[in-house]
A and B are shown apart, each in its own frame.
Chain A
Amino acid sequence: MRRLERKDMRAFLDKLASAASLVAPVREDGVVVFRPVSSGEQVVLDYVNPVRSAKELFFPQTEVMFRFLPSPVAGITPVQPDRQTVLFGIRPCDLAALSLLDEVFLGGDYRDACWARRRELTTLVGMACEQPDESSCFCTAFGITPGTADGADIMLYPAGEWLGVEVLTPRGQALLDRVLSDGAVALGEIGPPGAASQAGAGGGAGEAGDRLQQEYLKRPVRLGDRLRVGDLAKELDDRFDDPYWEEASRRCLGCGICTYLCPTCHCFLVTDVPKRDDGVRLRCWDSCQFKDFLLMAGGHNPRPTKKERTRQRFMHKLNYFVHRYGRYLCTGCGRCVQHCPVGLDMATVIADLRGVSEHV
C-alpha cells in the first residue's frame, strides 16, 4: 500500500480525468450522484454513498442493444459502448453488488454482451467507508465491511491527512502508471516519517498499511452488526405462506424506489422502438413492485396483489438467489432503508423475520 496526500487528491482526480472518462460522486441540488466529471474540482469526497447506485454505469436504465433496418435491407447492428471509463469512489457494498450481477449476466450459459463490454471498459477505484451511516448502512449483515475491496482495481483507504492506495489488479496498476507518469502527482510510503528509508525498522510500510486495512475491515456498522443474516435463507424455505407477507405488504406503495435504487436489482423489459427508416431494440429497467410487471397477454397476473409482490422482492434476495448462486442478493447498502417512504425495507424485514430489533 502506498500513500496519497489528501492535498494532492484534486490533482490525482484531474489526472484520472485525463486518463479516461471519469465518473465520480458529485453533489447536485443537494443530492450525491455519480456523474461524468472533467476535473477533480467537481468531485465530492464527504459522501456516504451516491443515492443512485453504481449499477447503472454497467446496466443503464435504458440501453440500446441494437439497431435494425426494415426489409428488404433487413439487418441488425449491435450497439456497443467503446469508451474507457474510470469509476471513482465506489463503495464496498456497490463493489459486491457488481460481483453479484456478474453471476447473473456472465455466470450462466449466456454471456450478456452489453454488461460484459461495460465491465471490461471500466476501471474501478474503490473508496473504503470512513463514516458508515449508522441508521441505514448494514453491509456487515452480509459479511461485507467498510474496508472490503473485492472487485476493485484500486482501493483507497482514507487516513486523515492522507489515503492509503492499494493496487489490486493489473488494470489498476496500468491506470496508476498513467496517472503518475508525468510526475505531477506522486505517491509516498506509509509509516512514520523516514520509516521507508530505514529499512528493517519496526513497523515498516507494509505493516502500517495492513493495520489501516484491518482497521477498516473491523470497523463497526451498527445496523449490520445487529442484523447478521446467518441461516435466514434456509429458515425462509418454510415461510412462503407466512402471513407476515400480507401484513407487511399492506403499507407498500407499489413504487419502484426500492428496486431502482438497489444496486443488485436487475429486472428489465425489452421493447422495440420502430422509426420510419430504422428502429432500435431497447432494454429498460423494470420493477417487480409494479403491478403490471408479470401481467400476461390475456390478462392473467401471477402476482396480482401487493402480498405476492412484496414476498417476491424479499424471497428473491434472501432465498431464491441463495439457492441458485449461493449468495444473498443484498449487500446492505441501505438505500431502500433510507428511501422507502413507508419503512418496508430490507433491514426492517430482516429484523421482523428474525424477531430481532433493528433499532441501533
Chain B
Amino acid sequence: MGGELRAQDAAVGVGGQAGTGAMSAVGHELAEKVGGLLAGGEVRMFLGYGAGRTALRVRPRHVLRPEGAAGLVWNEFCAPSLAKYLLDEQEEEGRVGVLVKTCDLRAMKRLVADRRVDRGRVLLVGVGCAGVVDAGKVEALLVEPVVEAGVQDGKLVLQTRSGVRELPREEYLLERCLHCEDPNPREVDLLVGPEVAPWAARPRDYAEVAEVTAMGAAGRAAYWDRQFARCLRCFACRNVCPACSCRECSLEVWEPMWLPREVSVSEQYMFHFTRAFHVAGRCVDCGECERVCPVSIPLMKLNRALQKEIQELFGVERPWEPEEKEPLAMYTPDDPDFH
C-alpha cells in the first residue's frame, strides 16, 4: 500500500488545486467527509478526482485510506464519469463511495438497471455542478500549460507562465452541460457543497442529427467513411460507456467472430453500428464516448440519431430513468407486432 502514497504525492505536485475559492472549499469539505467515511469503515474505497498534470486536467483517484482523502479535488474540470469503475469492485465485499454529478447519476442508474452494480453496495456522494469545461477545447488555443484556472464572473480565468487569459466560460463547457436539466444531483446518500443555481438549459433539439441528415445519402456516406477511417478501434468509447457493461463484448468474441480484426471501411461500419445500436434506448446521453475519443469521431451524432428515433417511435424521453421502457430490450406478449 506504500505505493499509493508515492503515486499520490507526485500527483499533487506544483500544479496544485484548480478552481475558485468556493470550489476548493467544496474540495475541503469533500476531503473531510471522505476521510471520515473511510476512517469509520462506512466505505472501503472512495472514487473521486485528484489533480492532473496541468490545472485543466484531473484524474480519477481511488482513495483507500483516510489520509488519501486530502488529495481529492473538486473543480470545473472534473469531467470523467467514475461510475464505471464500480465494475472492477464487484468481487470484494464492502461499500464503495463515489462522487457523482447529475450526469454521473444517470450512468449509475444505467448500471444499476442493467444489474451490473448493486446500489446497496454503493454510497453516492453528490455534488452540485455548475458545468464542466472541455479541457481539450481550451488546450487547443494555448501553447503554454495552464498553471492555475478558475471561474470569475462567468469568465474562465487561465493563468499561464506568460500571463492571464480570460475566456467566455459558457462557450467552453461540455455539450452535455448546456443541456443539463438539474445541476444538483438528487437521490444520493450524501451531499457536499452548496446547491448550485439552475440555469436555462437548452432543450435537446437534435440539431446535430438534422445537420447530418441534410447531407443526403451520398454526403452522409462520405462523411461517415471519413470519420470511421480515422477510428483506431481502441474501444475507449466502449470502455468508458456506462451502457456498455457486458461481461463479454461481442466485438471481442473470437468464435463466432462478429467483428473481424480487419480494419476496413465495411468492418468499421460493422463496429460503429453495433456499438450505437447496442446502446440505443439505453444511452444516458453523457457524451463520455465522444469526449475520450482521441481522434474526435462525432459518436454523439450516431447516438442522438437513434435517441431521436426511439423518442419518436416509442415516446421514450429519458431512457436512464429506471421506470422508463427499454423498447429494444424488452418483451411483452401484447406486442402489436408479435408473431
Q: Interface on A for B, CB 8 Å cutoff? A: 28-31, 33, 51-52, 61-62, 131, 133-135, 222, 242-248, 250-251, 253-257, 260-261, 269, 271, 273, 282, 284-285, 287, 290, 292, 306, 335, 337, 339, 341-344, 347-348, 351-352, 355-360
Contacts and interface: CB of A to CB of B under 8 A. Distances in A.
B227 to A, nearest CB: 7
Interface stretch (B9-17, B22-30, B184-192, B320-328): B9-17
Given A28-B226, A253-B239, A62 B264 contact: yes
B233 interface: yes
A359 B143 contact: no
Given A133-B143, A254-B239, A261 B232 contact: yes
Contacts of A343: 52-53, 57, 59
Given A242-B3, A243-B2, A244-B6, A257 B57 contact: no
B296 interface: yes
A133 B142 CA distance: 9
B263 A61 contact: yes
B1 interface: yes
B3 A29 contact: no
B101 interface: no
B244 to A, nearest CB: 11
Contact of A251 (B62, B227, B239, B261): B62
A290 B252 CA distance: 10
A273 B1 CA distance: 47
A273 B257 CA distance: 11
B53 A337 contact: yes
Contact of B53 (A242, A243, A255, A359): A359
A31 B233 CA distance: 16
Given A359-B13, A360-B145, A339 B139 contact: no
Interface in B257-310: 260-264, 291-292, 294-296, 298
Contact of A52 (B3, B54, B85, B295): B295
B251 to A, nearest CB: 11
B42 interface: no
A256 B298 CA distance: 18
12 contacts: A31-B230, A62-B263, A247-B7, A251-B59, A251-B61, A255-B292, A256-B233, A257-B236, A285-B263, A358-B13, A359-B145, A360-B54
B235 interface: yes
A352 B62 CA distance: 16
B10 A357 contact: yes
Contacts of A341: 80, 236, 240, 291-292
Nearest to B64: A247
A295 to B, nearest CB: 9
Nearest to A131: B143
A343 B88 CA distance: 18
A274 to B, nearest CB: 11
A285 B15 CA distance: 36
A331 to B, nearest CB: 18
A359 B15 contact: yes
A351 B6 CA distance: 11
A151 to B, nearest CB: 24
Given A284-B262, A306-B88, A341-B80, 7 more contacts: A248-B7, A255-B236, A287-B234, A337-B53, A358-B53, A359-B54, A360-B145
